[in-house]
Amino acid sequence: MFHFNQDDINYYEQLLNTVSTAAKYQLLARLLDTLKYLQSEGAEITMLPVDSDGVVVLKALEKAIKKETTLISVMFANNEIGSIQPIKEIGAFAKSKGIIFHTDAGA
């Protein structure tokens, strides 16, 4: 579980609409806990579907975006099933909409 100070809470209150994937994976349990917390505080959280290979359905991502969306968060590679997300495409889409894009990948 994450621990928030008041500055963190003030920032997260701004995340009125967040989009993430529905794939469940142990390493992102903390992120999912955080999303559930934000939802309990009134944020709208959209969990995107993934295909049979565990890859984000890009058309669903495009449909899920609202003018209030401030963050897209996606795990780059699923260590349990091996799926790799189309990070380049998701990042370009997020940038084109002015949305913060978060992933666990490092360059």
Instruction: Tell me: pLDDT of 28 over 70.
Output: no
Which of 25-29, 51-55, 98-102 is least confident? 25-29
Whether residue 100 lies inside any domain: the answer is yes
Q: Which residue has the higher pLDDT, 102 or 22?
A: 102
Let me know if residue 39 belongs to a domain.
no
Give tens-digit pLDDT for 44-74: 888 888 888 889 889 999 999 998 898 898 8
Q: Is 15 left (phi over 0), alpha (psi -120 to 50) or beta?
A: beta
- For the chain, what is the domain count? 1
In a domain, 69, yes or no: yes
Residue 34 placed within a domain: no
In-domain check, residue 38: no
Question: Looking at per-residue confidence, does 34 or 96 come out higher?
Answer: 96
Residue 3 has pLDDT above 50, yes or no: no
More confident residue, 29 or 47: 47
Domain membership flag for residue 9 = no
Domain range spanning residue 72? Answer: 57-107
* 85 belongs to a structural domain: yes
- pLDDT higher than 70, residue 96: yes
Residue 74 lies in a domain: yes
Per-residue model confidence (pLDDT) at position 68: 87
| Three-state SS annotation for 20-64 | EECCCCHHHHHHHHHHHHHHHCCCEEEEECECCCCCECHHHHHHH
